[in-house]
Structure 1
Amino acid sequence: MEVDVVNMKGKKVGTAELPPAIFEAPIKVDLMHQAYVRQMANKRLGTHATKGRSEVAGGGKKPWRQKGTGRARQGSTNAAQWVGGGGIFTPKPRSYEKAMPKKMRRAALRSALSVKASESEIILVDELKLEEIKTKTMAEALRAIAGDEMVLLLIPSNDPEYLDVKRASANLTNVKLLMANYLNIRDLLGSKQVVVPLAALDVITGYLG
């Protein structure tokens, strides 16, 4: 698949071929869903905890005698029906982590990238360079490239040469900046346009091709 390559002003400067193994892969919706559910589940801390009957304070003495009061029998004020009593089947710390083989995760990424490519939502940029290191300059550049849509901006690495781009896009609410080798299903499907510098495309090809 051949797509246009634009500069930071949104003007076409050439064309490039998207690797068909990555951007024309079979689209497997169930696999993308599984990868998404796994990622969201793995984000959960699982630190929730409430006290059960044996963990709350007090309750050592029987509230009243067993018979003759006309009231229901009670053994302890730690029971769940009492104010301040322990809960029943209360949540405890646990792991929500889900396993998914690396081959399946990468196949899901290829499916998502193929969806984006088929809908013309992959935008190639020749290089990331700003005339001024300002949020306004970055916003204008991305508006020229991708409009006012939610943008996933990929950078090839965390090298100092991309530090200006990171700083300039940090306060833009419609931009998610991500290193190319950290590409994930949630950010990919949550964006409307994926802006990919040619150097970042090489990184993606290196581990998904």
Structure 2
Amino acid sequence: MKVDVVDLKGSKVKEIELPASIFEAPIKPDLMHQAYVRQMANARLGTHETKVRSDVSGGGRKPWRQKGTGRARQGSTRAAQWVGGGKIHTPHSRDYSLKMPLKMRRAAVRSALSAKAAEQSVVIVDNLSFGEPKSKLLAQAIEKIVGKQTALLVIPEKDSKIDVLLSADNIPHVKVILAKYLNIRDMLSFDQIIMEESSIDVLKSFLTVKERAK
């Protein structure tokens, strides 16, 4: 797959060929859905907690004797029917995380990248840096490249792209992500993927399928 490489003004600089193993992989909606559900589940904190009868204080003494009072028998004032008593069938902390093999997660990323590339929603830029943090300049550049669409900016590393990270903080429809952290949720949440050319090498380093030696 050959695509144009553009600059921050949206002008064509050159043409490159994207690695077929990443951008022309089989598109598997079921696998992408599984990876998306896993990522959303793993983002849940599961910190909700309520107190059961054994967690509340007091209630060590029987309120009144078992028989002869005319009232219903009670064993503790910390039972659920009493004010301040423990709760029944209420939520407790739990782990919502789901497991998925690494090979399947990477295959889902390749599938999503291929789907985006097939829709012509992947734009390769030669360089995203401005030299200094300027949200206005970044917003203008993104508008020239993809118009008013939401954009996911993929950069190769953090240290040399601090200006891009800081500039994108003030733009609501833009997010910056490192190439090694590219994930299914972000790719499916944005209209366009704007990728710096050097990020392709980072993707190739961990997404390329290695053939087994015969």
Distance 1:125 1:61 in 2: 74
How many angstroms does 1:118 deviate by? Answer: 1.1
Report the count of equivalent residues. Answer: 208
How many angstroms does 1:68 deviate by? Answer: 4.3
How many angstroms does 1:150 deviate by? Answer: 1.5
Confirm or deny: 8 A CA contact 2:132 2:163 kept in the other structure: no
Distance 1:35 1:71 in 2: 57
Does residue 197 of structure 1 match 2:196? yes
Q: Which amino acid aligns with 2:190?
A: S
Distance 1:121 1:183 in 2: 15
Cα distance per residue 1:103-147 (max 9 Å; x no partner): 000000011111111111101111113276311111101111111
Structure 1 residues 86-101: aligned runs within 5 Å: 86-101=86-101
| CA RMSD, Structure 1 to Structure 2 (Å) | 1.7
SS at match of 2:152: strand
Q: Which amino acid aligns with 1:191?
A: F
Distance 1:58 1:131 in 2: 65
How many angstroms does 1:15 deviate by? Answer: 1.8
SS at match of 2:206: helix
1:17 is matched with which residue? Answer: 17
Confirm or deny: 8 A CA contact 2:187 2:193 kept in the other structure: yes
Does residue 108 of structure 1 match 2:112? no
Distance 1:134 1:47 in 2: 39
Does residue 43 of structure 1 match 2:37? no
Confirm or deny: 8 A CA contact 2:25 2:114 kept in the other structure: yes
Confirm or deny: 8 A CA contact 1:151 1:191 kept in the other structure: yes
Q: Which amino acid aligns with 1:111?
A: S
Distance 1:19 1:2 in 2: 9
> Unpaired segments of 5 or more residues in structure 2?
209-214
Cα distance per residue 1:73-94 (max 9 Å; x no partner): 2221211122211112343333
Q: Which amino acid aligns with 1:162?
A: K
1:184 is matched with which residue? Answer: 183
Distance 1:77 1:147 in 2: 65
1:125 is matched with which residue? Answer: 125
1:60 is matched with which residue? Answer: 60
> Unpaired segments of 5 or more residues in structure 1?
none
Does residue 72 of structure 1 match 2:72? yes
Identity %: 59
Q: Please, what TM-score do these two structures have when normalized by structure 2?
A: 0.90
1:167 is matched with which residue? Answer: 166
SS at match of 1:72: coil
Q: Which amino acid aligns with 1:168?
A: S
Greater Cα offset, 89-98 or 53-62: 89-98
